[in-house]
Amino acid sequence: MTEFYGYRRPDGRVGIRNYVLILPTSVCASDVANIIANQVDGAVSLHNQVGCSQVVSDQEMTLDFEAGFAANPNVYATVLVSLGCEGCQLDLVEERIKQRTNKPVVGVSIQEARGTLKAVEIGVRYAKQFAAEASMLQKEKFPITELLLATECGGSDPTSGIAANNVIGALSDRLVDEGATTILSETPEFIGGEHLLAARAVTPEVGQRVLDIVHRYEETFWRAGEDIRSGNPTPGNKAGGITTLEEKSLGCIHKGGTRPVQQVYDYAKQIPTSQKGLVIMDTPGNDPSSMVGMAAGGAQVCVFSTGRGSALGNPIMPVIKITGNADTWDKMEDNIDFDASRYITGTHTIEQLRDELYNMVIETCNGKQTKSEALGINEIAVMRTCNYA
């Protein structure tokens, strides 16, 4: 069985990175969190655009994202930074984190600390202590069954459906067959193919959940007077060779391979380590927010197909980008890790590319930086259904 080097966490999960996460609980604390992270080697932060002035259902998703990031096994420990009066209060976030993990977490409130400068000092002292502890950890070997892989596609073009997503689907099948776990995401992209995915579910209940999340997603648009199903495939899709809605959808969901759908998870909910096989997470088609949901679910690494050439990454989950477009590979090799256009030109089979990508995933687990990691691309977004209150 394939093994990879990882960090054993006290909650039983296995990380492939060893970050101290400086997590702003709301937009109002994001700059302070970033200042703290910039001061400490081994710390990472992000720009949190939510966390206050949210309706209950949106705040719940934010709390799930925040707790999920702290619990993600690539994180050694978390320093929460709050303003003090926001919706996502320190104790609320801390409680949610403790429901998911027993890893270390501390918090600092800017208002309670008497301002930005004092909060930065407190936060830096916490973070440098955690960073020193984290640096003492030794990597150990773990079986591939400990891997939870996220899959994503964005900046798609016709090559995504016929090359890159096929390679990712084949990779997903191989990992599932070896006992690992893979996540298929992006609910709106199931539309037209949801009945095919539902038919692959292990039970009628899981199949119904697949249909339900698509329906629920559409409903949020109907409430705003919008319809995401109409006009699909678009005239542009048809001119590009897409004939039916099923074909368009299959191009996207093919990155989930062909294995049975074991379970459906709501956005940013924790996927238990006992869960194996292919699962679905209800996420937006928007790439940064979809990847955030899967990272919060516990995914250690993501494989991301992009025809046009996405520059995205993620703060805590390494993102391996793969293109089926030879021009994009030629132009954007600085951003993209894997060239799947070799399938289109016929020099390589899907099986050859699948195995090459599999090896790249293992190398990435073992510590090799992805292109977006090397460039420090950490932008995120979080799913929401309503405007700010």
Partner 1 sequence: MVNGIFIDPKDVVVTLSGPVKPGDTVVYNDGGVQKEVVAKDEIGIFHKMAVKPVEKGGRVIKYGELIGIASADITPGEHVHTHNVEEPERK
In angstroms, give the least distance from the CB of 256 to partner 1. Answer: 11
Displacement of CA 263 from its chain's centroid (Å)? 17
Show the beta-strand stretches assigned E in 185-300.
Answer: 261-265, 277-281
- Indicate whether 57 belongs to the interface with partner 1 (CB under 8 A): no
**Among residues 55, 106, 228, 245, the one that binds partner 1 under rule CB under 8 A:** 245
Is residue 74 within 8 A of residue 20, CB to CB? The reply is no
Query: With contact defined as beta carbons under 8 Å apart, do 105 and 94 qualify?
Result: yes
Question: Interface with partner 1 includes 387 (CB under 8 A)?
Answer: no
Query: Per-residue b/e over 195-216, b at no fewer than 16 CB within 10 Å?
Result: eebbebbeeeebbebbbebbee
Q: Which is nearer to partner 1, 111 or 347 (CB)?
A: 347
Stretch of residues binding partner 1 (CB under 8 A), selected from 57-65, 213-221, 249-257, 294-302: 249-257
Could you say which DSSP state residue 115 is in? S
Q: Which of 349, 359, 369, 387 binds partner 1 (CB under 8 A)?
A: 349
Taking CB under 8 A as the binding criterion, the range among 99-107, 115-123, 241-249, 292-300 that sits at the site for partner 1 is 241-249
Interacting stretch for partner 1, rule CB under 8 A, among 116-124, 173-181, 236-244, 284-292? 236-244
165 vs 151: CA distance, rounded Å:
9
Element (H, E) at 20: strand 19-24
- The answer to whether the CB of 233 falls within 8 A of the CB of 245 is yes
Print burial letters for 87-124: b (CB count within 10 Å at least 16), e (below 16).
bbbbebbbebbeebbebbbbbbbbeebeeeeebbebbb
Q: Smallest Cα–Cα separation from 23: which of 371, 300, 297, 380?
A: 380
From the list 55, 106, 162, 377, which residue makes contact with partner 1 (rule: CB under 8 A)?
A: 162
Kindly state the smallest distance separating residue 158's Cβ from partner 1, in Å. Answer: 4
d(CA 363, CA 58): 37
Which tokens in the block code for residue 1?
A: 């069985």
Is residue 12 a contact residue for partner 1 (CB under 8 A)?
no
How many residues bind partner 1, per CB under 8 A? 25
Helix (H, G, I), strand (E, B) or coil at 7: strand
Q: First and final CA of the chain: distance in angstroms?
A: 51
**Residue 251 CA to its chain's centroid (Å):** 20
Query: Which residue of 244, 359, 369, 387 would you call a contact of partner 1, by CB under 8 A?
Result: 244
From 172-180, 337-345, 354-362, 373-381, give the range in contact with partner 1 by CB under 8 A: 337-345
State in angstroms the smallest separation of the CB of 323 from partner 1: 14
**108 token code pair:** 């600092």
Beta pairing, strands 261-265 & 19-24 = unpaired
Distance of closest approach, residue 335 Cβ to partner 1, in angstroms: 23
Q: Should residue 204 be labelled a site residue for partner 1 when binding is judged by CB under 8 A?
A: no
Q: How many Å apart are CA 386 and CA 231, to the nearest integer? A: 24
Minimum CB separation from partner 1 for residue 173, in Å? 12
Least Å distance between CB 349 and partner 1?
A: 7
Of 38-46, 50-58, 81-89, 188-196, which part binds partner 1 (CB under 8 A)?
188-196
Is 241 an interacting residue with respect to partner 1 (CB under 8 A)? yes
Q: Which is nearer to partner 1, 238 or 331 (CB)?
A: 238
Which residue lies nearer to partner 1 by CB, 10 or 346?
346
Does residue 228 belong to the site contacting partner 1 (CB under 8 A)? no
Q: What percent of the residues of the chain are helix, what percent strand, and what percent coil, each to the nearest 5?
A: 45, 15, 40
* Residue (24 or 161) nearer to partner 1, CB: 161
Compare residues 15 and 233 and give the one whose CB is closer to partner 1. 233
Q: How far is the CB of 345 from partner 1 (least distance, A)?
A: 7
Considering the rule CB under 8 A, would residue 260 count as an interface residue with partner 1?
no
Nearer to partner 1, 91 or 330 (CB): 330
Nearest to residue 176, comparing CAs of 257, 274, 281, 250? 257
Candidate segments 18-26, 106-114, 214-222, 338-346, binder of partner 1 by CB under 8 A: 338-346
Give the H or E element holding residue 105.
Answer: strand 105-109
143 is an interface residue for partner 1 by CB under 8 A: no
Residues that bind partner 1 (CB under 8 A): 158-159, 162-163, 166, 193, 195-196, 238, 240-241, 243-247, 250-251, 254, 258, 343-346, 349
